[in-house]
């Protein structure tokens, strides 16, 4: 019973770290795109904004999952590792986004959320974020 109680507590702790990292990911998308993200997705039905947020959350989830699976049995070290690798993933996703913004015409954030359809650049950003997440997840040891 003690093991089960510990595992339940660990699940809630890892869940809290993962949700906090996803909330940071949401804020990153909010800051890098014009307008209110929640309004664009849930009220206006903006597909580009939804793609950008969805793939960011999936990438962060992949990093967090890998960090949890590879963590040692010490809960506090595992939580720290998960938070650190998740934060590294978010930072690298931001770097990749701004790199794409610099090398492409226009303002990338505005391009991604402008219009009723998904701009082709949205798929490029999604691929970059997923690739960065895979790289970070692969680096977790």
Q: Give the per-residue SS3 of the chain.
A: CHHHHHHHHHHHHHHHHHHHHHHHHHHHHHHHCCCCHHHHHHHCCCHHHHHHHHHHHHHHHHHHHHHHHHCCCCHHHHHHHHHHHHHHHHHHHHHHHHHHHHHCCCCHHHHHHCCCCCCHHHHHHHHHHHHHHHHHHHHCC
- How many domains does the chain fold into? 1
pLDDT-based confidence at 116, cuts 50/70/90? confident
pLDDT-based confidence at 120, cuts 50/70/90? very high
What pTM was estimated for this model as a whole?
A: 0.91
Residue 134: the pLDDT is 96
Per residue in 19-32, pLDDT (tens digit) is 999 999 999 999 99
């Amino acid at each position: 019973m003690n093991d089960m109680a510990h595992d339940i507590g660990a699940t809630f702790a890892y869940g809290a770290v993962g949700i906090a990292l996803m909330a940071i990911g949401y804020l990153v998308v909010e800051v890098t795109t014009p307008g209110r993200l929640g309004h664009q997705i849930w009220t206006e039905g903006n597909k580009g904004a939804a793609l950008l947020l969805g793939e960011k959350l999936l990438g962060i989830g992949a990093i967090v999952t890998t960090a949890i699976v590879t963590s040692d049995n010490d809960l506090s070290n595992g939580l720290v590792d998960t938070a650190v690798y998740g934060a590294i993933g978010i930072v690298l996703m931001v770097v990749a986004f701004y790199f794409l913004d610099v090398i492409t015409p226009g303002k990338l954030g505005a391009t991604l959320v402008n219009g009723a359809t998904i701009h082709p650049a949205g798929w490029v950003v999604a691929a970059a974020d997923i690739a960065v997440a895979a790289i970070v997840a692969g680096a977790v040891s």
